[in-house]
Amino acid sequence: MSLSRRAFFRNLGVDRADSVSPNLIASRGREALELWRNGLDYEDGFQNTRMTEGAIVISSNENPLGPGPAAYQALLDGLDQTAGRYPTNFRPSHRDLMQTIANKYGARPENITLGTGSGEILENGALAFTSPDKALVTADPSYLQAVGVAKRQGHAIRTVSLDANLRLDSEAIARAASGAGLVFLCNPNNPSSTVMSASDVEALVAEVRRSSPDTYILIDEAYHDYVTDPAHQTAIPLALRTPKVFVARTFSKAYGMAGLRLGYAIGQVETIATLAQWTHVFNSNNLANAAAVASLNDPQHVEQERARNKEARDFTVGVFADLGCEAADSQTNFLFVNIGRPAAEFRNACAEHNVAVGRDFPPMEKTHARVSIGTIGEMRRAAEVFKQVLA
């Protein structure tokens, strides 16, 4: 029995396909999907995102608008055709997506491997390139998915503190990289929201390649499309010309597809081939592939999303500044704010007003909180809550 488009949307809880907004599609798969098995909740306080109707969910760095119109149309067009076909037997296929990505960066499909979000790329990087004797080097605090895998496998981990401006400390990371299996650079960094310049990234990569040539370098650019600092550039060209360097990207952030779970890695063929040995077969689904191809062919939407986010981000920075709370120089769709009190206290107080903000980020959980950027309307409403709980 085939599943009609009407039946599909009825299962979503609505009557008609044309009554579904991109925001509904996005909200059906909030990115806080799993709990860490290393003792730290992936999204501590995730229950706050299940508050009453009308809650402002600014806890998981999602695009509040969901996918753009081209991607949304691709999802609708594919619903009647995709469910019974493997990704190899539906167009656009996963290979079509890899070719589209390759065309964007002047590469080949062999330079690319897909993942269920960029999280699979990060996990596979830890599995492929670290061991009890080959450490994972990462900033602290930074994104933890690769760290979680390395810890569960009993692999060595070396952490490097952020600098005084809450940026990645390139010199300290280079020193820590000696003999390591993998250096993980989250750039822009989550949770600090700051970015390392293109020149600093190149210098760091060159130094690691010189001093520890067997070490791989993974640059996570999940938030690249939100950067407004002209000193930042993608490291993809650097990865394509440099051995043992690869970049992870996701469709979960600016492209608004967190619920569809799709990302990719790009680098030299030999590097990607080694990484891809850990990849699951058919790890991208037909709807995600179709929406991603449409998104990559709609660059104007990303420009619009960057501008929308900047307006709401600037507004929220100003709100916290008026409250005497300094935010790091955000180049993302979230802020890392010195609120002068424990993040848990702030989070719980916000939850009482139906606003969900981010989890704790040790070792800065006693003073700093992460606040994602929603729509300008959501941030105006949230601002009134912040004024109450931080008074």
At 51 the pLDDT is 59
Query: Is it true that the peptide bond before 342 is cis, omega within 30 degrees of 0?
Result: no
What whole-number distance in Å separates Cα of residue 79 and Cα of residue 85? 11
What whole-number distance in Å separates Cα of residue 94 and Cα of residue 174? 36
At 383 the pLDDT is 98
At 7 the pLDDT is 46
What percent of the chain shows pLDDT beyond 90?
Answer: 79
Enter the DSSP assignment of 280.
P
The dotted CATH code for 85-296 is 3.40.640.10
**Among candidates 306, 359, 360, which has minimal Cα distance to 330?**
306
Render pLDDT for 195-221 as a digit per residue (tens, 0 to 9): 999 999 999 999 999 999 999 999 999
Q: Does the pLDDT value for residue 37 go beyond 50?
A: no
Question: Can you read off the two tokens belonging to residue 209?
Answer: 């390649």
For helices 145-152 and 118-129, give the axis angle rounded to 10 degrees.
Answer: 40
What's the pTM value of the predicted model, to 2 decimals?
0.88
At 8 the pLDDT is 42
Of 69-73, 256-260, 281-285, 290-294, the least confident: 281-285
At 379 the pLDDT is 98
Question: Would you call 50 exposed, middle or buried from its count of C-beta atoms within 10 A (0-12, 13-18, 19+)?
Answer: exposed
Mean pLDDT calculated for residue range 178-191:
98
Q: Does the pLDDT value for residue 30 go beyond 50?
A: no
State the alpha helices, DSSP H only, in the chain: 5-11, 22-27, 69-82, 94-105, 118-129, 145-152, 170-176, 198-211, 236-241, 269-276, 286-296, 299-322, 343-351, 376-389
State the fold for domain 31-60+299-389: Aspartate Aminotransferase, domain 1 (3.90.1150)
What whole-number distance in Å separates Cα of residue 73 and Cα of residue 246? 31
3-state SS assignment for residue 74? helix
What whole-number distance in Å separates Cα of residue 104 and Cα of residue 216? 24
At 77 the pLDDT is 86
Owner of token pair 């300008």: 376
Q: Does the pLDDT value for residue 40 go beyond 90?
A: no
Classify 349 in phi/psi space as left (phi over 0), alpha (psi -120 to 50) or beta.
Answer: alpha
At 28 the pLDDT is 34
Question: Is-contact 283 113, C-beta < 8 A?
Answer: no
What percent of the chain shows pLDDT beyond 70?
Answer: 87
Question: Is-contact 144 40, C-beta < 8 A?
Answer: yes
Could you tell me the residue ranges of all domains in the chain? 31-60+299-389, 85-296
Alpha-carbon distances, residue 291 vs 79, 84, 273, 301, 331 (angstroms)? 11, 18, 25, 13, 25
Render pLDDT for 74-129 as a digit per residue (tens, 0 to 9): 998 888 777 778 878 888 889 999 999 999 999 999 999 999 999 999 999 999 99
For helices 286-296 and 94-105, give the axis angle rounded to 10 degrees.
Answer: 20
Render pLDDT for 124-170 as a digit per residue (tens, 0 to 9): 999 999 999 999 999 999 999 999 999 999 999 999 999 999 999 99
Of 43-52, 180-189, 202-211, 368-377, the least confident: 43-52
Q: Does the pLDDT value for residue 27 go beyond 70?
A: no
Give the number of residues written for the chain: 391
What whole-number distance in Å separates Cα of residue 157 and Cα of residue 144? 11
Q: Write out the DSSP string of 313-347.
A: HHHHHHHHHHTT-EEP---SSEEEEE-SS-HHHHH
Query: Between the ranges 70-84, 218-232, 281-295, where is the mean pLDDT highest?
Result: 218-232
Render pLDDT for 169-182 as a digit per residue (tens, 0 to 9): 999 999 999 999 99
At 152 the pLDDT is 96
End-to-end CA distance of the chain: 59
At 11 the pLDDT is 43
> Mean of the per-residue pLDDT values for the chain?
89
Q: Does the pLDDT value for residue 23 go beyond 90?
A: no
Mean pLDDT calculated for residue range 237-262:
97
Q: Does the pLDDT value for residue 223 go beyond 50?
A: yes
Question: Is-contact 335 327, C-beta < 8 A?
Answer: yes
**Among candidates 130, 109, 117, which has minimal Cα distance to 62?**
117
Residues 367, 315, 163, 133, CA torsion sign: positive
